[in-house]
Structure 1
Amino acid sequence: MYRKPFFLCLFLLSFLLEAQQPVSVHLTEKDGLPDKEFYNIIEDSKGFIWLTADKGLFRYDGKIFKNYSNPEKRGLSVFEPVEDYLGRVWCNNISGQFFYVENDQLVTFIDLGKELKGELSSFLVTKKHLIVFTKFKIYYVNLLSKEVILKFTTEFQYGPPITSNETILFGNCKSLFSLNTKEEKEELLQFNFSVPKENRGNAINQKTELFQLKSLLFSRENYKKVNTFFKLDIDTNTQVEVKGLEELKNNENLKFFENDGQLWVATNNGVFVFSFKNDLFKLEKHFLQEYFVTKVIKDKDDNFWLTTLNNGVFVMPNIHVEHLNVSEENSNISCLEKIDNNTLLFGTNKGDIVFYDTKKHEEYFIDLPLAERVSAIKYHPEKELIYISKDVSGFLMDYNTKRIESIKNFFTAKSFSIIDHKDLLFVNYANASLITGSDFNKVNKEISANKRAYTSFYSLISKTTYVAFVDDLRAYDDQWKPNNIRYKDQSIFALSLSETPNGIVWVGTFKEGVFGIKNNEVVYHFTTENGLISNRIEKIKADQNNLWVAADNGIQVIDVETNKIKTLTKRDGVVSYDISGIEILENKVYFSSNKGIFCIDKVKAFKPEKQPKVYFNQVEINEQEVALKSDYTLNYNQNSIKFGFNVNGFQFNQKGKYAYRLLGLNDDWITTETGINSVKYNSLSAGNYTFQVKPVLDVESEENCVEELKFSISRPFWKTWWFMSGISILVLGSTVLYFRRKIKKKEQQRQIEVKQLSLDNELIALKLENLRSQMNPHFIFNALNSIQEYIVLNQKILATIYLGKFADLIRTYLNHSTKGKITLQEEIDSLEMYLELEKLRFEDKLNYTITTSGSLKPDQVNIPTMLIQPYVENALKHGLLHRKDNRILEISFFINEDSNTVRCLITDNGVGREKAEEFKARSHKNHKSFATKATQDRLALLNYGKQKQIGITITDLFEAEKPTGTKVDITIPFTK
């Protein structure tokens, strides 16, 4: 047995006031906050939050912080935000400039730098004047004429003014003034402050500041940095020093704020909260001690805003959600148990157990052996024993004596349940076991062996024990007979169990929400479809007819009679979603978590739901932002429209949604996702539309909360009646003209086709003539004679070769005659065959060469068929035939890819054209060559209507005025 005296740590009363304080959300640059040094804050009549800061004036609409500045402003810092009766927000700077925001622009009103001389002043704006308060002077500036009047001067310092209904009060240590803002009539109240004796003669240095609490008027007198507080009675012209504010004696920068009859004071040492009763102030709370708080306000949604001098902004969304400032080493809590209505007991992941007095805010902790997590604790009120389970050990503690005994069976327990006020059931990772006697080291009954369990619960109403196993939820009667509880024939995977007075056992599950079970049947099932914020439940706890539910993203309470559900999230002040335990103590619900313990006032924590007001903040047409109006008339091509809308406030855009519809397109409401506050429509057709939007929260939106914009898109001009009529006439006339022109065009096309057919027939005839010219009888006769001579001389091989080449040539010419174009290589090949035959005929006294040059290959170039051979034949027949020896024929092809042309040069060293004509005359052959005429006519046909034409140039060659041959230059456009 292990016994050890407990180790006790007591946090003294000086720490207690900060031991329980409202949960705050700290806004910094990472949340979009534009600065960290803030001087003042207000909420305007539209729900916008305005902040004056070191970097300027900012407006917060619930989503973004917008900066306002202008080029005339000297420096960045501004102070004292004030809203006038027109809804304009004013501010000033230390240079004496005064500004206001109008039409979303910062406008400079006046520069009082000469009057104020660098003194930062307070000011008010009435319907007629800007009233500026300095230490010893008060100026009135007419809002229309900007005339500056010095209204008051004094030898004693004025304090900043305060406003009560339509009355402004301001004064100094000697006198009090009242200004009626409706009539702007000043009244000197014959009220004389009694300056303390020790301050007489030095009252010029004494500062006076007024503040109110309910209907009572107070003043703060500051002399030599010491604060004294008085209650003023204007009717009796008396002042009485009040007690209880001694904590503020040496604090600076006091800003007073009233909330529900309590006085909140922002200071350089955090915020103090005082109650006031029987003319005595009592300190209730003190929080944010380490921060210089410059101002506190409460917005329309009951969120508290606190600006600081160097640490950004704090928001307290719910002052009825409070954080118990448990010591840091004990803040990571693994389990929670209630001892009585004043005492909580919790185990930590560090391995200790801690008693916490919720009234005195005192913390006692027991230092247990072994630094391992406390997995479960249970208090037995009848036996006044505490069962403690750790990961590898277990203990039994006597609550009264705090004596500890080591128990071997209690290790790694998931939960303990007391059965019928006497027996103890504990479940762990391997089994569920029952202990019925006083020897806790002895297990009397194994309920289920070798089966992991998560939690257990005993119902005093139905005398039933519930155990949540890894694969099922099982109910045991008083004889320990098991019954599996299923829902739609599926297992229920439970994490937490509790029971309401109506006998319904509630089950929080891993991912299926919350089940309500009665008589081993599921009678209720709550999920995200009927109100839960999540289906993954961490813990549940019954509280009369309410069921508290801790989910993985919020805390909810379900009224099991009405099925109404209320929700709290981190934006409402929830410290953590990692909840390890829930306990009810009187009017508060306590939650343990990885960040300590926080509590929720069961009634006050849920603020009355206020219907949020939505407004339009942006309209874009065809991606261009336009001025906001209630009605738009748009052209047919202005049909891409985006609507931006918003609800001002800290919380709505974090948990609220919007419903919208476009009447004229669809009458059904569509709900946005959380945080989405714009809708865009593309390619709308012509017509009249009304866009409507309304905020959606837990409460049903009222019809008067719907905001709408109307717009109409006109029809395009081509869909108007006059345009359609004109188009009909135009189409009819155009149709008549079209068909007339079409008929005329067909006739012209027919004539062209007839002419083209004639040209094609003529081209065919020319091809045949060209073929005949190539197959002229003389050539054929000579070829056949040569073959005959070879046969007679019994030169069969030569005859065979000659005959074969002759046949190949004839076949090639016949093949080419069927084509319009051939490749240059095919033309060269046919010329080779032709010249080989001619060389045999010339008895090898003919030398010829064929060359090509250029970037393209001959087989990549197409030229007209039967074009070059006739000129080669003329060179042989009329030039070279009349030479006896040394007959030379050169054929060169030049391919120009840039101009897409082939240049062919045919050069011979024959007798020339003039000599050839003489030989022709002697032979009495006066007929015109068929080949020459056919070629000329074919060239004319090929060039007909073409931009690039085939060109032929024939040049006689001379040397010393003697003919030395002929050169034919042919330029042929080609295709690839």
Structure 2
Amino acid sequence: MMLKKILFFVLFQLCLGYTQAQEPVSVQLTEKDGLPDKEFYNIIEDRNGFIWLAADKGLFRYDGKVFKNYSNREKRGLSVFEPVEDQLGRIWCNNISGQFFYVENDQLITFIDLGKELNGELSNFVITAENLIVFTKYKIYYVNLLNKKVNTAYETDLAFGLPFEYNNDILFGSFDNLCKLSKGYKKEHLFKFELPKPKKNGKYNVNQKSKLFKLGSTLFFSREHNEKNRFFKLDLNKHQYTEIHDFEVLANQRYLSYFENNGQLWVATQNGVLVYSYNNDIFKLEKQFLEPYHITKIIKDKDDNFWFTTLNNGVFVIPNIHIERLNISAENSNISSLEKIDDNTLFFGTKSGNVGFYDVINHTEDIIDLPSTARVSAIKYHAKEQWIFISKDDGGFLLDNKTKQVAAFNNFHAAKSLSIINNENLLFVNYANVRLLDSENFNKRGQDISSNKRTFTSFYDSEYQSTYIGFVDDLVIYDSDWKPNHIRNNDQSIFATTLTKTANGMIWAATFKDGIYGIAHDKVVSHITTDNGLVSNRIETIKADGNTLWIASVNGIQLIDIETNKIKTLTKRDGIVSYDISGIEILDNTVVFSSNLGLFRINKEAVFKAPIQHNVYFSQIEINEEAIEVKSNYELDYDQNTINIEFNVNGFQFNQKGTYTYRLLGLNTDWVSTETGINSVKYNSLPAGNYTFQVKPVLDFESSDTTIKALKFSIERPFWKTWWFISGLSIFVLGSTVVYYRRKIKQKEQQRQFEIKQLSLDNELINLKLENLRSQMNPHFIFNALNSIQEYIVLNQKILASIYLGKFADLIRTYLNHSTKGRITLQEEIDCLEMYLELEKLRFEDKLEYAINSSGSLTTGEIYIPTMLIQPYVENALKHGLLHRKTDRILKIDFFINDRTKTVKCVIVDNGVGRDKAEEFKARKNKKHKSFATKATQDRLALLNYGKQKQVGVTIIDLFEDDQPSGTQVEIIIPFTT
């Protein structure tokens, strides 16, 4: 297949005398640019400057930064075709499944599914105000846009061609005639083509649909005949046609697409783009570019960028048709030096050691053989003698331009710069020396101007017979007698790398980090940097062209008009091949640049596009990190004060070259500039107020573009800063203050009443303690104790009497001591109960058994309980329960300490006669009064529990055995403290 293509183009060039020369510089969009696919079928630009691409992977919209995909659930497959914009600005497309879609409100909407009607055929269509008109190979369908009713308007067996909108009519061809649909969509035959109709198997054999295209006001028609393309010029007024025979190269190609550009016909083919001129009814092939690629569609956008979709290699853009790559061979593309011989001829040297001539008319390259392969460091043309001085890293050569003879010299090797002095001698500048060589004998050493000092550049000003030399540490001007004078800028050294002179007599020095200096003889009068328009302060080389200055820097190529200070810029996005520029030469109306990627030239009159109005728009608004609908005005709550605003200018170049300036009125009035490629601004925690955000695009340093886009929004005050809230809060505070102090007065009164009542309760508690003490020291107990002591004395048991009397005294002393305390330890309570029960055991004549136990995580000495609380219940157990039992009197007292609930559970169990039997004994003794000790204990419990969350609880349980009373159990729950 590749061999077939090569043979085809060789034959074509031989037949037409066509020679591949230069081609416009194109930029291939790749995945790095976000390109989502490599197989593209069609492309359009809509009225807002968006680029729409129909691709194998779907429909995409490009805004200059991002490719956005449009799809929906109903869509079958990925591929779409034929993007078309309707009168409402909606973008339509279709697919091979027969579905038709349009984009509205940023969503892909399915309009209709004609899968059954089209049966897998990819159709072409036109959108009118009322109908979707679908062209298939043999039928034309009308679909009403309102009710979606489908009508089959026309049928044929000769294959309908592609529709072509022309003068408000829709033209289309069939195999043997040309037709049109007028405004009423009535089909009208314009004329027939008198051509035989080839048949295959009884049917007309047509592989491709016929196509119409125009050039100026002239209409042309192409159709397939016997598997070859034939072309015709149409005259609709006379209903005539004339066959054209200038397109032999297109005869065997399929899938052609046509594009008109300034009177030229561009044809998208399987082998790139063919450009034809048309004069005197003759088409002439002028050039071919993008030759290796199958081009499917060509458009030119509003910014004069040319777009090319390909079938397998993505998308190409030619941003500037006036920037062309010259036809230099690959082995000589890394050019280190460039010199102009005349307006048609350039001389160049390469880093690989080659030198040669380049003919800019015929685009031919003539290499001169040199014995050395070292890098060419500098070249200089001596116009008077027609000599070309060639300096290499390892030697020097002199080329006679008349005879093309080469002579070798050693005196000017590794030159940084070569200059012709007085139109005679050669000034040689290298890494260590400045030397003047005599033109009569270049083998002589010559005159040393400077030694052992690194230099960068030199320039001879013939008007003043002055020589400028840029050293590593200074810029020096020498007069005709070679007397030096240092040129400084505010007493600072100038590190010049390239020197040139404009028509007004100014010398311009380019530097590697300080921009460009303008020098009037020996004084700096101008300094141009990034502050006043340069895209970089690091300059590669400069060249004067009249009173303009061409500047090649590491970030672009610029042209400065030194009289008006206007600066124009070209970047790689404009089609600049490389920023690694080694030379600039002016040839009539073109400028040629040498670089590491070969030679390229620009048309200096046409390369800078006319200023256009760039329309900026808001692409996204985020409030508190959440995207919302883009509107022109917003009313926001006080907490909706983090705002991110994104804006954009559609187009291929702006976001790679231009910047934006913006301000937020209501916050500040100063314009702020963004960096290149930055198109969003974020404001955090804005205060309440009314704001207007303004943004405008800036393409050049002194842009005249005044398009301003504005966005208004207001942020409400928080409710606590509103007048009604402040007023209400003031009233509330005043009222609260009044209520507070009234409550404080009331609380103080309640506290006073409480203290009075508490004092009364304390007095009552003291009385109850005394009463409790009296109950514990009841006369019967004391009488029995004294009787026991008397009995020990009578029986002359002095020791027992003494022990008993001592225990009795200790018990009385302990009761009196406890009566003065509010609380005692549990161990103190147990000790007191031990003393009491020992004395009571004597009273019961040793017929009493008792036991006191305790358990828990805390010891009995660590916790405190109220005083005189348990003994009355023990006394009741003895007095009313066990007293009436004659034998086996048993009393158990258990203490359970619960650290989690902070309570002590005291369980008193006796095996006495029970409460009912005890009441009977009381009745026999005619004791109807209530026990004084019991009443005192109950009153004391009520006082202890008063106002407390945790209260003392007492539970009395009657015990039974075989339905007979077997004793009494008393459970006392006592809160404790530690």
Structure 2 length as normaliser, TM-score? 0.77
Asked whether the 8 Å contact 1:418–1:425 carries over to 2, the reply is: no
Matched residues in 1 for 2:54 and 2:218: separation?
29
Aligned residue identity for 1:188: H
Deviations 1:416-448 (A, max 9, x none): 2333322322121xx222132223462531413
| 487 and 763 in structure 1: CA distance in 2 versus 1, 3 angstrom threshold | farther
Deviations 1:229-275 (A, max 9, x none): 33333445544343443332322211110111111100111111111
Asked whether the 8 Å contact 1:763–1:938 carries over to 2, the reply is: no
Matched residues in 2 for 1:106 and 1:758: separation?
85
Stretch deviating more after TM superposition (32-41 or 362-371):
362-371
Within the alignment, does 1:296 sit opposite 2:295 as a pair?
Answer: no
Aligned residue identity for 2:420: I
Could you say which residue in structure 2 is the equivalent of 1:748?
Answer: 747
Matched residues in 1 for 2:866 and 2:455: separation?
99
Could you say which residue in structure 2 is the equivalent of 1:509?
Answer: 511
Asked whether the 8 Å contact 1:17–1:284 carries over to 2, the reply is: no
Matched residues in 1 for 2:378 and 2:831: separation?
111
Q: 1:540 aligns with which of 514, 537, 542?
A: 542
| 151 and 656 in structure 1: CA distance in 2 versus 1, 3 angstrom threshold | same
Matched residues in 2 for 1:142 and 1:693: separation?
43
Q: What are the within-5 Å matches in structure 2 for residues 804-819 of structure 1?
A: none
Aligned residue identity for 2:189: L
Deviations 1:818-864 (A, max 9, x none): 99xxxxxx9799999999xx9xxxxxxxxx9999863xx87997858
| 496 and 235 in structure 1: CA distance in 2 versus 1, 3 angstrom threshold | same
Aligned residue identity for 2:426: D
Post-superposition offset of 1:642: 4.7
Matched residues in 2 for 1:669 and 1:688: separation?
18
Q: What are the within-5 Å matches in structure 2 for residues 273-288 of structure 1?
A: 273-288=275-290
Gaps of 5+ in 2: 1-11, 774-813, 837-850, 880-891, 911-933, 960-967
Is the partner of 1:222 in helix, strand or coil?
Answer: strand
| 863 and 123 in structure 1: CA distance in 2 versus 1, 3 angstrom threshold | same
Aligned residue identity for 2:748: Q
Matched residues in 2 for 1:546 and 1:859: separation?
108
Could you say which residue in structure 1 is the equivalent of 2:193?
Answer: 193
Within the alignment, does 1:98 sit opposite 2:100 as a pair?
Answer: yes
| 684 and 495 in structure 1: CA distance in 2 versus 1, 3 angstrom threshold | same
| 292 and 703 in structure 1: CA distance in 2 versus 1, 3 angstrom threshold | closer
Post-superposition offset of 1:524: 0.8
Q: What are the within-5 Å matches in structure 2 for residues 58-73 of structure 1?
A: 58-73=60-75
Asked whether the 8 Å contact 1:16–1:361 carries over to 2, the reply is: no
Post-superposition offset of 1:583: 2.1
Matched residues in 2 for 1:363 and 1:294: separation?
33
Could you say which residue in structure 1 is the equivalent of 2:804?
Answer: none
Asked whether the 8 Å contact 1:232–1:240 carries over to 2, the reply is: yes
Could you say which residue in structure 1 is the equivalent of 2:399?
Answer: 398
| 741 and 134 in structure 1: CA distance in 2 versus 1, 3 angstrom threshold | closer
Could you say which residue in structure 1 is the equivalent of 2:388?
Answer: 385
| 850 and 153 in structure 1: CA distance in 2 versus 1, 3 angstrom threshold | closer
Post-superposition offset of 1:74: 2.6
Post-superposition offset of 1:377: 2.9
Could you say which residue in structure 2 is the equivalent of 1:410?
Answer: 413
Aligned residue identity for 2:738: F
Matched residues in 1 for 2:710 and 2:601: separation?
42
Is the partner of 1:556 in helix, strand or coil?
Answer: strand
Stretch deviating more after TM superposition (235-244 or 525-534):
235-244
Matched residues in 2 for 1:373 and 1:954: separation?
119
| 399 and 891 in structure 1: CA distance in 2 versus 1, 3 angstrom threshold | farther
Is the partner of 2:656 in helix, strand or coil?
Answer: helix
Q: What are the within-5 Å matches in structure 2 for residues 613-692 of structure 1?
A: 613-621=615-623, 625-632=627-634, 641-681=643-683, 689-692=691-694
Is the partner of 2:321 in helix, strand or coil?
Answer: strand
Aligned residue identity for 1:739: V
Matched residues in 1 for 2:332 and 2:748: separation?
102
Deviations 1:102-122 (A, max 9, x none): 232323333333433332222
Post-superposition offset of 1:667: 4.3
Deviations 1:43-102 (A, max 9, x none): 122212111111222222222222222333332222112222222222222233322222
Could you say which residue in structure 2 is the equivalent of 1:425?
Answer: 428
Stretch deviating more after TM superposition (197-206 or 573-582):
197-206
Deviations 1:15-44 (A, max 9, x none): 995442111111123322222111111112
Aligned residue identity for 2:190: L
Stretch deviating more after TM superposition (580-589 or 758-767):
758-767
Asked whether the 8 Å contact 1:243–1:280 carries over to 2, the reply is: no
Matched residues in 1 for 2:861 and 2:230: separation?
110
Aligned residue identity for 1:748: Q
Aligned residue identity for 1:297: I
Matched residues in 2 for 1:760 and 1:448: separation?
116
Could you say which residue in structure 2 is the equivalent of 1:228?
Answer: 230
Percent identity, please. 54
Could you say which residue in structure 2 is the equivalent of 1:586?
Answer: 588
Could you say which residue in structure 1 is the equivalent of 2:700?
Answer: 698
Matched residues in 2 for 1:24 and 1:511: separation?
31
| 594 and 221 in structure 1: CA distance in 2 versus 1, 3 angstrom threshold | same
| 179 and 850 in structure 1: CA distance in 2 versus 1, 3 angstrom threshold | same
Could you say which residue in structure 2 is the equivalent of 1:87?
Answer: 89
Is the partner of 1:746 in helix, strand or coil?
Answer: helix
Matched residues in 2 for 1:689 and 1:376: separation?
60
| 870 and 117 in structure 1: CA distance in 2 versus 1, 3 angstrom threshold | closer
Is the partner of 1:94 in helix, strand or coil?
Answer: coil
Deviations 1:129-187 (A, max 9, x none): 33322333333333334444444444433321323342333223532234445x65654
Aligned residue identity for 2:91: V
Stretch deviating more after TM superposition (17-26 or 665-674):
665-674
Asked whether the 8 Å contact 1:527–1:534 carries over to 2, the reply is: yes
Asked whether the 8 Å contact 2:459–2:469 carries over to 1, the reply is: yes
Could you say which residue in structure 2 is the equivalent of 1:129?
Answer: 131
Is the partner of 2:609 in helix, strand or coil?
Answer: coil
RMSD: 5.7
Q: What are the within-5 Å matches in structure 2 for residues 781-796 of structure 1?
A: none
Could you say which residue in structure 1 is the equivalent of 2:448?
Answer: 445
| 850 and 606 in structure 1: CA distance in 2 versus 1, 3 angstrom threshold | farther
Matched residues in 2 for 1:331 and 1:128: separation?
58
Post-superposition offset of 1:296: 0.4
Asked whether the 8 Å contact 1:409–1:441 carries over to 2, the reply is: no
Aligned residue identity for 1:193: F
Gaps of 5+ in 1: 1-11, 775-808, 820-825, 839-847, 879-888, 910-931, 958-965
Post-superposition offset of 1:576: 1.8
Stretch deviating more after TM superposition (400-409 or 513-522):
400-409
Could you say which residue in structure 2 is the equivalent of 1:268?
Answer: 270
Q: What are the within-5 Å matches in structure 2 for residues 179-578 of structure 1?
A: 179-181=181-183, 184=185, 186-190=187-191, 192-195=192-195, 205=206, 208-366=210-368, 368=370, 372-383=374-385, 384-390=387-393, 393-400=394-401, 401-407=404-410, 409-411=412-414, 413-421=415-423, 422-428=425-431, 431-437=432-438, 438-440=441-443, 442-449=445-452, 451-578=453-580
Post-superposition offset of 1:542: 1.3
Structure 1 length as normaliser, TM-score? 0.78
Asked whether the 8 Å contact 2:198–2:226 carries over to 1, the reply is: no
| 111 and 870 in structure 1: CA distance in 2 versus 1, 3 angstrom threshold | closer
Post-superposition offset of 1:550: 1.4
Stretch deviating more after TM superposition (857-866 or 440-449):
857-866
Matched residues in 1 for 2:53 and 2:87: separation?
19
Deviations 1:303-343 (A, max 9, x none): 00100111111111111112234333332333333333233
Is the partner of 1:318 in helix, strand or coil?
Answer: coil
Matched residues in 2 for 1:859 and 1:537: separation?
96
Could you say which residue in structure 1 is the equivalent of 2:178?
Answer: 176
Is the partner of 2:748 in helix, strand or coil?
Answer: helix
Asked whether the 8 Å contact 1:472–1:484 carries over to 2, the reply is: yes
Matched residues in 1 for 2:767 and 2:354: separation?
118
Matched residues in 1 for 2:763 and 2:593: separation?
107
Post-superposition offset of 1:531: 0.9
Is the partner of 2:319 in helix, strand or coil?
Answer: strand
Aligned residue identity for 2:195: V
Matched residues in 2 for 1:414 and 1:938: separation?
117
Matched residues in 2 for 1:956 and 1:112: separation?
98
Stretch deviating more after TM superposition (588-597 or 712-721):
712-721
